[in-house]
Amino acid sequence: MAKKQVMFTFPEKLIKEPIIFNLGRQFKIVPNIRRADVTESKGWVVLELEGEEKDIDKGLAWVTGKGVRVDPVVGDIIEG
């Protein structure tokens, strides 16, 4: 089993969709939310995903395809 820590940033049109629930159910991933701030117009969630590495990768590709921005939880790793 692998673990991955990521940050999801949701656009307004996706705020009401149960994306994290579906991610867990469809890809057999356990999402563990650690921090979040979600309002009617925007939202971000910091979470740890646990599952098979290939399932996590597929799941993140699905989330990205839905229009959610997925970043490393540490923000940009690249620096000047």
Return left, alpha or beta for 32; rule: phi > 0 is left, psi -120 to 50 is alpha, else beta.
beta
- Please state the closest distance from residue 21 (CB atom) to another protein, in A: 20
List the one residue from 35, 54, 61, 67 that touches another protein (CB under 8 A): 35
Q: Is 42 in the site for another protein (CB under 8 A)?
A: yes
Q: Is 37 in the site for another protein (CB under 8 A)?
A: yes
Q: Is 9 in the site for another protein (CB under 8 A)?
A: yes
How far apart, in whole angstroms, are the C-alpha atoms of residue 66 and residue 57?
14
Q: Is 73 in the site for another protein (CB under 8 A)?
A: yes
Return left, alpha or beta for 28; rule: phi > 0 is left, psi -120 to 50 is alpha, else beta.
left
Return left, alpha or beta for 75; rule: phi > 0 is left, psi -120 to 50 is alpha, else beta.
left
Using CB under 8 A, list all residues that contact another protein: 4-5, 9, 34-35, 37, 42, 44, 46, 48, 69, 71-80
